[in-house]
Amino acid sequence: MKRKFFCMIFTFVFLTTALTISVNAGIALDYWYSDSSKIHFWNNSSLSVYANPYLSGITQADLESYITLSFSKWNSAIGISKSFTTNQSSADIEVLGLDRTTATNAGVPGNAAAIGFINDSDKTLFTTGTYGGATKNIYETDGVGHLYYVWDSTSEGFETSTWQKLFVHEMGHIFGYVGHYSSGAVMKPNLANITTTTPSTNEINHLGQVY
């Protein structure tokens, strides 16, 4: 049975005022490669990440390597650097490993390998755009991104390459890629169908147009 991502990007996005972005109110967007009508961005030059394997069998070094890889793979779209912090309360992004019981108690569906999300209260509508005659909503955040991955009898057998693909996918959501792209490289809805850690040109263009 194919294992699906459960990507809870709660249909809003990010807001700050330090950088100049390429999106203006009501403009015609150049790309749209998502099954969602939403996209979001961080208006930060750098993000701090709190990474804790917690209840998983992944080592701290491996977890940080997956996060570093994700920033690298999406860099041409977002241009944001990262630093690791041991202060969870001040981090821009928190990444936690949960066992299945804890994940279920936290509301993670039983078939989820990982979830990436931003709480609604941390997102504000920035502007709207159009693509193919359809309205698209663009959000900005100054809140916290959350990535929870699940350690269970299935995921404990994942190879390093599978974890890498999972993290690149989920961090893509945290960076602002809402929804999925069935013809893409890393933003497909099913982990079993992802064969690379490198986003396609379409995926880079889709996310990069709001940075």
The CATH fold of domain 38-208: Collagenase (Catalytic Domain) (3.40.390)
Domain boundaries, given as residue ranges, for the chain = 38-208
pLDDT in the model for residue 13: 33
pLDDT in the model for residue 62: 98
pTM attached to this predicted model: 0.87
pLDDT in the model for residue 3: 40
Answer whether residue 194 shows pLDDT above 50.
Answer: yes
Higher local confidence (pLDDT), 146 or 106 = 146
74, 197 contact by CB (below 8 A):
no
Answer whether residue 141 shows pLDDT above 90.
Answer: no
Instruction: Report the distance separating Cα 199 and Cα 140, nearest Å.
Output: 22
Instruction: Report the distance separating Cα 42 and Cα 203, nearest Å.
Output: 17
| Mean pLDDT value across residues 161-189 | 97
Round the average pLDDT of the chain to a whole number and report it: 88
pLDDT in the model for residue 69: 98
Instruction: Read off the pLDDT band of 25 (50, 70, 90).
Output: low
* % of the chain surpassing 90 pLDDT: 77
Instruction: Report the distance separating Cα 121 and Cα 144, nearest Å.
Output: 10
